[in-house]
Structure 1
Amino acid sequence: MKYTIIEGQHLKEMLLNGAYELEKNKEMVNSLNVFPVPDGDTGTNMSATMLSAAEEIKKIKDTSIQAVADAAAMGSLMGARGNSGVILSQILRGFSKQLKTKTSLTTKDFAMALKEGANTAYRAVMKPTEGTILTVARESADKAIEIAKSEVDFLNFMKKVYDHAIKTLNKTPEMLSVLKQAGVVDAGGKGLVVIYSGILKWLQGEIISLGNIEDKKDLAKPNFDKIEEIEDIKFGYCTEFFIKSSTPYFEGFKEKISDYGDSIVVVGMENLIKVHIHTNHPGIVLEEAVKLGELSKIKIDNMKEQHRTIIESEDDNVSNNDFSNQKEEEKEFGIITVAAGDGLTSIFKDLGVDIVIEGGQTMNPSTQNILEAINSINAKNIFVLPNNGNIVMAAQQAKDVSTKNVIVIPTKSIPQGITAVISFNPDLNAKDNEEEMLRAISKVKTGQITYAVRDTVFNDVDIKEGNILGILNGKLIKSGEDINKITKEVLDEMVDENSELITIFFGNGLEENDTEEIQNYINEKFSHCDVSFNYGGQPLYYYIISVE
């Protein structure tokens, strides 16, 4: 079928096709991750982000262009995982913004939306790197604008855009030496090309379905304590709705409804505002909201009734899927961190962390996961420690949509996270604590011992699948066949005469007697340092090493 005009229902189906095409090809995208460690997850993160957009799109009954684009932007915003997922959500946000006044689309409209998507993504990244998804988004959008000047048929238009996106993707190794050395194209860029492929397939008449793929359990969930008493639920009605408004979103609305409840989330996107609140007076909240514009998709759930059902069915998992209720008076500080491994979770809890979100390597929590944790803590100031460079952007995005005072400390490893928590001083104010945490993490060296998932060359190190890898401060420095040998070599690089403390967390699958050789080596060679060996229980990494 020939399309010269795209309606809202068409756009809905195109985006769903793109999301499902990525889901089916996510492992292929994962395989392109330059770092040959078992936590390469660009495809997984981008797919989770797009599936979140797809779920939001499927919920809406209004299939106008604006409604579909806004739903995609909203879903991807809250479901964004990892840096690639956050960037993808920003592309969809810009795409939606450009289409806010459109009732149907020409190829020129679509091209301009792609361009605004690329521009929005570039603005969201502090230091954009060429040779990544950003480059593919920008160059394919520029080409789309050029093509649309003479091509009105969407199928021909999208074929040419897709071809140019592949051409740009194939140039990414020339832009980033690490890609060239590893012999791969950029994974994020490939993910975007796969989405384009799904859109193109829809135009060709191929409808993609996920078939009988089961919904996957969300592993990156906050570890909330189960609410045992119905009386603990202070505000009984979980109220959600959208406001379609021509009035710009403003902070005064948040402040006004804050008098009527808690667990407030107000996400504003141009002419659409999504509101979530726990309240005893949903009618009053709706009366305040209707002053701003037309309301849609109103949902009010009786949480006490839901709680009785949960208790009766003895389902311990359901309560983790909602915003937790604040049961105590507001305190000055709260701390959220991310970790994988029962030992690491216990260590953070013992250090006073309020919530440990299960995740990290391979399980990057979404913006929504982090926001749920933020809203579950009744504190004036909340510190978020991502403990992974691929989670920092999602944490920052959660901060941006939160109504609370959130401080993201950009910890990129477990050792940095633990050091940040230890340096926290409840007698200092939020600003001074932030400065102290940043100062403390800058002095931490992080070592990691893991294994390679494929043959490659990285940083001039020849790597074979199954090799033991030694990583220092995020850089791969050693490769070999013996865990103890590689661990010793990494320690030798990390420890110097100024080092005072060595802390090692051994992972899931290692017993304490497996670590004796490493313990003896450290005690003999680095006798000037205090040494601490701890069970971390982390997956994928035999050892995580901290040197200060």
Structure 2
Amino acid sequence: MKAKYIDGVQLRKMILQGKNSLEANKSTVDSLNVFPVPDGDTGTNMSLTMGAAAREVQNIKGGTVEDIAEAAANGSLMGARGNSGVILSQLFRGFAKGCKGKEKLSIMDLAVALKGASDTAYKAVMKPIEGTILTVAREIGEKAVEISKREESIESFLETIIAHAERVLDKTPDMLKVLKQAGVVDAGGKGLIFIIKGFYEAITGKETVIESVDVIQPIVHDSIMENEEITFGYCTEFIIKGKNIHIDNFKMAIGDYGDCMLVVGDENMAKVHIHTNNPGEVIEKGLRLGELINIKIDNMRYQHQNRIFESKMPQDEPVDLKEYGMIAVTMGKGLTDIFKDLNVDEIITGGQTMNPSTEDIKNAIDHIAAKNIFVFPNNSNIIMAANQAKELSEKNIIVIPTKTVPQGIAAVLAFNADESSEVNTQAMMGAMKNVKTGQVTYSVRDTQFNDIEIKKDDILGMQDGEIKQVGSDIDEVSFELLENMITEDTEMVTIFYGEDVSVEKAQELANKISEVRDDIDIEVYFGGQPLYYYIFSIE
């Protein structure tokens, strides 16, 4: 019998199967990254966001469609990662509005909710771009309303919507030039279609089960101890999904980084738990083996201090707030140390391939007792999540939209504790705009970009996100990129070398540039960043 209504039980199944469908196909979505660099994470970000929505939904026993939709909206809001994840969370938010006050959805109700999802997502984006997930979502909403009066079942309704969405997706390269240049369709739109297909599978009884791995619960220490007794302060947990994972080798690789270590699993999936003072380094070692999911880092010293503070402090006694606090997102021990040396309060481990969630950023905000908090995302794919965390906080949060680490460092250096937040914001925005960023990485696939032929494993030199140099030698591409970025007005070049580059190689590059331009200052620092051999800051 064909379904004419969706109740809470059915909507719950739809969302869970939407998550399963995307999880099973996220590598396909990841592969649609416009640039052939190793940061194709749209599918991963959307999948993690869907996972957060699904976990909230699973906590609902029974419930109306309003209850289920609201749970999915709340879960996706806090779990949103990357721009695609934030947009997906806004789609769920709009969908939930359409389910308000309803125990079940008719075809017309479902159409209105899908249209509301699109409307809400469009309003959340300052400058909507056509040819993206927003376009696919809008077309789904409009088509849903158009056909809602003539469709007689939920099954046929969803079939029509999916077919229309796929036609729209095929046209996205005609709407967005970069998609056509790269020869791909929009990744976010593709991910959204996989979710809708999951909805259809749930309605038609074709649900699949994606084996999930429970996150290891943190070890709780009940006894009261001083911070000095907590030798390793960060409880670090994550799951590695890869191929040919050697559990014993990985244990040896991270064994010296802490205690309470637990690594279990098989060659395709491993659960990791360790108490360490260097969570970033442990995570980077995990990245070498495969994809990371369910990443969780808890500052045990902070939690301990907070418990003692709360137990000793009268509830009505005010907490002294300092004037300013700062949060930065980065990866690599060297870059982390640099931001710490610049008095940044909270460092969130993340960046390419590992975008922190809205909740991660919100937690960092909550950890800082300050009236004004500056957030430096240092990645264009984290800015929306940072702004979403800002909306959830009662503190005065200022997101400085830094897209690269050099921009973030320049902005932090422009900070003046004696000035107002408005003056500091203006100074930081100006400082980040005066920095050019270079990055040297490698290609993950064959492609063509701006008439440049690129082969898998080619070395790529990028200036402010655009591919400028392609070659087979790291040293040659790095030198050519730097040489072309330096102008007559250049006064300083800073070289941050990654985990796969030696200090000798980095210094050789600096010396070679000095021979060409002996009138500029060149500084070399260990960044320790994965994936990128070099990051250059040109001022």
Amino acid in structure 2 at the alignment position of 1:439: G
- Selected match of 1:486 from 470, 477, 487: 477
1:187-226 matches, cutoff 5 A: 187-213=187-213, 215=215, 216-217=238-239, 224=299, 226=301
Superposition deviation, residue 220 in structure 1: 5.8
**CA-to-partner distance for each residue in 1:352-407, whole Å, 9 max, x for gaps?**
11111000011100000000000000011100000000000000000001111100
- Selected match of 1:453 from 444, 447, 451: 444
CA–CA distance in 2 between the matches of 1:148 and 1:497? Answer: 63
1:259-270 matches, cutoff 5 A: none
**Aligned equivalent of 1:85:** 85
- Selected match of 1:437 from 428, 444, 452: 428
1:166 aligns with 2:149: no
Query: Structure 1 length as normaliser, TM-score?
Result: 0.82
Distance 1:231 1:428, change over 3 A: closer
Superposition deviation, residue 234 in structure 1: 2.7
**Aligned equivalent of 1:4:** 4
1:424 aligns with 2:424: no
Q: Which runs of 5+ in 1 are unaligned?
A: 238-257, 263-327
**CA-to-partner distance for each residue in 1:251-274, whole Å, 9 max, x for gaps?**
xxxxxxx98699xxxxxxxxxxxx
Superposition deviation, residue 86 in structure 1: 0.4
Amino acid in structure 2 at the alignment position of 1:233: I
- Selected match of 2:516 from 487, 503, 525: 525
Contact 1:220 1:358 in 2 (8 A): no
CA–CA distance in 1 between the matches of 2:465 and 2:500? Answer: 23
Q: Would you identify which runs of 4 or more consecutive aligned residues in structure 1 move more than 3 Å?
A: 212-225, 227-232, 258-262
Contact 1:45 1:81 in 2 (8 A): yes
**CA-to-partner distance for each residue in 1:242-293, whole Å, 9 max, x for gaps?**
xxxxxxxxxxxxxxxx98699xxxxxxxxxxxxxxxxxxxxxxxxxxxxxxx
SS of residue in 2 equivalent to 1:163: helix
- Selected match of 1:235 from 310, 320, 336: 310
The two structures, once aligned, show a CA RMSD in angstroms of 1.9
1:495-510 matches, cutoff 5 A: 495-510=486-501
Superposition deviation, residue 227 in structure 1: 3.8
CA–CA distance in 1 between the matches of 2:511 and 2:408? Answer: 27
Contact 1:86 1:393 in 2 (8 A): yes
Query: Structure 2 length as normaliser, TM-score?
Result: 0.83
Contact 2:329 2:350 in 1 (8 A): yes
Amino acid in structure 2 at the alignment position of 1:495: I
Amino acid in structure 1 at the alignment position of 2:183: G
1:513 aligns with 2:532: no
Amino acid in structure 2 at the alignment position of 1:235: E
Contact 1:26 1:47 in 2 (8 A): yes
**Aligned equivalent of 1:376:** 367
**Aligned equivalent of 1:297:** none
Distance 1:142 1:86, change over 3 A: same
Superposition deviation, residue 192 in structure 1: 0.1
**Aligned equivalent of 1:411:** 402
- Identity over the aligned pairs, expressed in percent? 51
CA–CA distance in 2 between the matches of 1:408 and 1:382? Answer: 8
**Aligned equivalent of 2:75:** 75
CA–CA distance in 2 between the matches of 1:376 and 1:227? Answer: 8
Superposition deviation, residue 61 in structure 1: 2.5
CA–CA distance in 2 between the matches of 1:399 and 1:212? Answer: 31
**CA-to-partner distance for each residue in 1:483-515, whole Å, 9 max, x for gaps?**
111111111221111111100100012111122
**Aligned equivalent of 1:312:** none
CA–CA distance in 1 between the matches of 2:524 and 2:535? Answer: 10
Amino acid in structure 1 at the alignment position of 2:130: E
Superposition deviation, residue 233 in structure 1: 2.8
Distance 1:524 1:230, change over 3 A: closer
Distance 1:375 1:472, change over 3 A: same
Q: Which runs of 5+ in 2 are unaligned?
A: 216-237, 240-292
Distance 1:462 1:260, change over 3 A: farther
Distance 1:32 1:423, change over 3 A: same
CA–CA distance in 2 between the matches of 1:520 and 1:384? Answer: 35
Contact 2:140 2:165 in 1 (8 A): yes
Superposition deviation, residue 180 in structure 1: 1.3
Contact 2:10 2:203 in 1 (8 A): no
Superposition deviation, residue 204 in structure 1: 1.8
CA–CA distance in 1 between the matches of 2:135 and 2:374? Answer: 33
SS of residue in 2 equivalent to 1:334: strand
SS of residue in 1 equivalent to 2:117: helix
Distance 1:207 1:525, change over 3 A: same
- Selected match of 1:536 from 498, 523, 527: 527
CA–CA distance in 2 between the matches of 1:7 and 1:195? Answer: 18
**Aligned equivalent of 1:280:** none
SS of residue in 2 equivalent to 1:40: coil
**Aligned equivalent of 2:273:** none
CA–CA distance in 1 between the matches of 2:431 and 2:306? Answer: 42
Contact 2:9 2:62 in 1 (8 A): no
CA–CA distance in 1 between the matches of 2:13 and 2:380? Answer: 34
Distance 1:203 1:231, change over 3 A: closer
Contact 1:20 1:208 in 2 (8 A): yes
Distance 1:206 1:81, change over 3 A: same
**Aligned equivalent of 1:275:** none
Distance 1:357 1:8, change over 3 A: same
Superposition deviation, residue 480 in structure 1: 1.1
Contact 1:461 1:477 in 2 (8 A): no
CA–CA distance in 1 between the matches of 2:107 and 2:512? Answer: 66
